[in-house]
Amino acid sequence: MNRLGALRFDNAFIRELPGDRSGKVHSRQTPGVCWASVSPSPVSQPRLLAYAPEVAALLDLEAQDVTSDTFAQVFGGNALLHGMAPYATRYGGHQFGTWAGQLGDGRAISLGEAINARGERWELQLKGAGITPYSRRADGRAVLRSSLREFLCSEAMFHLGVPTTRALSLIATGDAVRRDMLYDGNPRDEPGAVVCRVAPSFIRFGHFEILAAQGEHDLLRRLLSFTLEKHFPSLGGEPQQRFAAWFREVCERTAQLVVEWMRVGFVHGVMNTDNMSILGLTIDYGPYGWIDDFDPGWTPNTTDADMRRYCYGDQTIVARWNLERLAQALAGIAPSQSVLDEGLAHFDTMLQKGMHSMLAGKFGLRDWRDGDAELVADIFQLMQQSEVDMTEFFRLLALVDVSSPHVNVLATAFYHEEQFIQERARFETWLTRYAQRTGAEQSGSAERTERMNKVNPRFVLRNYLAQQAIEAAEQGDLKLLHRLLDAARTPYADAHPADLIAKRPDWARHKAGASMLSCSS
């Protein structure tokens, strides 16, 4: 029996919040509602390219269910299961610092909220399944390259321990999608794909912002109660305390989220408020990237190349700015301004605490002491000046014998041998300071290595690797895609195929897709 038929749905978002049930797809403003009914547009030849067994298990599905033809039809957008009721949601957002008005799910269609055997709620959402009332002038579709990147990275982040939306499946549609990848007047036909994303909810800051911006305060209150009841059930108390606890919690989760991004070297790339999850999950994988050579000013997003608003090192600042926009949207329904201010102050506290304990962990320190900030800032500056690979560096640092530190241990983290030779004295001096600091804690070397290797990944989804998997997949070769998904399952393990943990090769330094990505997806 195919277990797909046994999936149970409880579509609370559309049951409890007002929607536009007309089913019409033409682009429009939808005042007064949180969602609009819309069916996925059919595709010609849906074919499963990859799936995540762990996510299938969340839905009580097994391999034979996911590899069935029914699955490809449903999760490619050609059919619905009993109980599914597809819809697109209405949200707005601040894009690159400016209020952009109504945006909404322009190419995401939620199929429904599945309730698994453990009673957990998992919303299933197709990305790239065709136009919705929120598509504006775009086509509602997604290309294989961006879908593969979203699929792989969602799962890579999960296994790294970073809060994220999940990805169940990657399905090729068999249809072409026309895109101008670098916005340089050279559009081409690319293979289309649909990812099924899975999360307890895809509610964003922007869902609240649009209602405030349009003066829809009653609906804003309803969305808030819905969010509290369904997604923050543990927060009790009188309404005022409950609001305060909730906003504080959103601020705290957002702080924890960016701290985790900083830990693993992830750059989201488009931290607009419409791309911020109210649950504190990483959401909307677009022109994201991973730090190779350590550089706080780096952004993978070519659209942001001049401003660098969303560069690696500024993600904490932007998270705060985004929470301020959320606070602004909530001002009309909050019990008081001070409740919002307290939430934001809590973000600052949690961010600082989180950064300190995260950095202490990365450097193998048992706690954070006076002077550590300087120790850390100094090595980060050296790493930046000397082009040192972030991921490689921390795994090598874990191997340094602090009773007799030797700089040669770090050699392979450098992108250029000459730079290692030139800078070795400065790194050696720093290592001596580091050894003194670590030695002061008197932990055994093997124990320290083990501790550091639990927070410093060996495998990350480097940009060039994803790009190679894309190029192969576009030629019909899925081996690398599957190998990467496999490696992503054990990111902290030592043993990985050499080609999956190699530093970025020279050819990938300035290659489109590998180091430069646009929002065209």
User: Residue numbers of the site for ligand AMP (CB under 6 A)?
Assistant: 103-107, 134-135, 138-141, 270, 274-275, 284, 286, 519
**Residue among 46, 63, 9, 80 nearest 170 (CA):** 46
Q: How far apart are CA 466 and CA 67, in angstroms?
A: 23
**Residue among 412, 501, 511, 417 nearest 456 (CA):** 501
Taking CB within 5 to 8 Å according to partner kind, which of Mg ion, ligand AMP, none is near residue 141?
ligand AMP
- State the residue for tokens 């990859």: 50
Residue 275 found at the interface with Mg ion (CB under 5 A): yes
The residues, ordered by sequence, that sit 6+ positions from 245 with a Cβ below 8 Å of its Cβ are 235, 237
Is 109 or 245 the residue whose CB approaches ligand AMP more closely?
109
Partners of residue 387 on adjacent β-strands = none
Q: How far apart are CA 5 and CA 28, in angstroms?
A: 35
Looking at residue 404, its amino acid is: S
Residue pair 290/267 in contact (Cβ under 8 Å)? The answer is yes
Spot the catalytic one: 65, 274, 284, 295.
Answer: 274
Is 139 or 387 the residue whose CB approaches ligand AMP more closely?
139
Residue nearest to ligand AMP (CB): 106
Taking CB within 5 to 8 Å according to partner kind, which of ligand AMP, Mg ion, none is near residue 104?
ligand AMP
Is 270 or 473 the residue whose CB approaches ligand AMP more closely?
270
**Residue among 263, 304, 269, 261 nearest 285 (CA):** 269
Residue 284 found at the interface with Mg ion (CB under 5 A): yes
Residue 209 found at the interface with Mg ion (CB under 5 A): no
Is 107 or 263 the residue whose CB approaches ligand AMP more closely?
107
Taking CB within 5 to 8 Å according to partner kind, which of Mg ion, ligand AMP, none is near residue 57?
none
Looking at residue 350, its amino acid is: M
DSSP state of 294: -
Catalytic: 295? no
Q: How far is the CB of 280 from ligand AMP (least distance, A)?
A: 18
Q: What is the total count of residues that contact Mg ion (CB under 5 A)? A: 2
Q: How far apart are CA 224 and CA 230, in angstroms?
A: 10
Q: Which among 45-53, 245-253, 270-278, 403-411 is the span making contact with Mg ion, rule CB under 5 A?
A: 270-278
Is 275 or 302 the residue whose CB approaches Mg ion more closely?
275
Taking CB within 5 to 8 Å according to partner kind, which of Mg ion, ligand AMP, none is near residue 296?
none
Q: Which among 116-124, 206-214, 281-289, 340-348 is the span making contact with Mg ion, rule CB under 5 A?
A: 281-289
Question: Encoding tokens for residue 264?
Answer: 């693993």
Taking CB within 5 to 8 Å according to partner kind, which of Mg ion, ligand AMP, none is near residue 138?
ligand AMP
Is 97 or 239 the residue whose CB approaches ligand AMP more closely?
97
- What is the per-residue binding string for Mg ion in 219-258, x denoting contact by CB under 5 A? ----------------------------------------
Q: How far apart are CA 299 and CA 307, in angstroms?
A: 10
Q: How far is the CB of 329 from ligand AMP (least distance, A)?
A: 17
Q: How far apart are CA 104 and CA 133, in angstroms?
A: 8
- State the residue for tokens 């932007």: 318
Q: How far is the CB of 26 from Mg ion (least distance, A)?
A: 21
Q: How far apart are CA 8 and CA 355, in angstroms?
A: 41
Q: How far is the CB of 47 from Mg ion (least distance, A)?
A: 26
Strand segments (E) across 288-365:
289-290
Q: How far apart are CA 91 and CA 204, in angstroms?
A: 8
Looking at residue 320, its amino acid is: R
Active site residues: 274
Residues lying near Mg ion in the complex (CB under 5 A) are found at 275, 284
